Amino acid sequence: MIETKLREDICLLAKSLFDRGLTHGSTGNISARTEDGGLLVSPTGTSFGRLDPGRLSRFDEKGVLIDGDPPTKEMPLHATFYETRSTAGAVVHLHSCHSVALSMLPDTNEDDFLPPFTPYAIMKLGKVKLLPFFLPGDPAMGDAVRGLAGKRSAVMLAHHGPVVAGRDVEAACNAVEELEETARLALMLRGMPARTLDADQVHSVVTKFDIEWDS
């Protein structure tokens, strides 16, 4: 994909997430690989609803900022996903309401954050790891992701928001939306005798669609 089109796609998809309330104010950040191995990243303090394609932070293949505005303070988080997952072509981080709410509940499964309600969350996300609270911008977030050794495409930062890597920017955005919708289902069904997919059904989805499933 030519860089001009990639810049436009990043801003278009970010605005779509913002317009539907999946992140708000100046929260969230997004990045994508360029054809030459560099990165395009949303600048610090910007709103997903008003990103300017010409002002995105541009890094070269060595990780040096060569153009655009200063990048998000969450760069260590993005960089670690690219470092540990060779398939990562884009990373999206949101401050989405339902997933953040679910992260605050004491009985949430830290190793498998999302209940297996539908096959689609399994297909798009695999298992989601719930990470502890970190101060925004803390490089320790990157260290925590590095500790997963590339086995997870998505993590949930407690009290903060989800971070998802995908093969490209559209796939990453679709996956983070699936995460938020599954978290919303979990809250809607809380306290009800809801049926989740059983272990055999989960296994069948993982096998049928060749899902990376860290046990």
Distance of alpha carbon 127 from its chain centroid, rounded? 13
Name the catalytic one among 74, 177, 178, 180.
74
Residue 92 has phi, psi (to 5 degrees) of -130, 135
Q: Can you tell me the distance from the alpha carbon of 43 to that of 109, in angstroms, rounded to the nearest whole number?
A: 33
Residues pairing with 58 in the sheet: 40, 67
Q: Can you tell me the distance from the alpha carbon of 86 to that of 25, in angstroms, rounded to the nearest whole number?
A: 32
**Residue 202 near residue 122 (C-beta atoms within 8 A):** yes
Instruction: Mark whether 83 is an active-site residue.
Output: no
**Residue 163 near residue 175 (C-beta atoms within 8 A):** no
Run of H or E residues at 157:
strand 154-157
Name the catalytic one among 3, 120, 170, 212.
120
Instruction: Mark whether 82 is an active-site residue.
Output: no
Return the active site residues: 74, 120
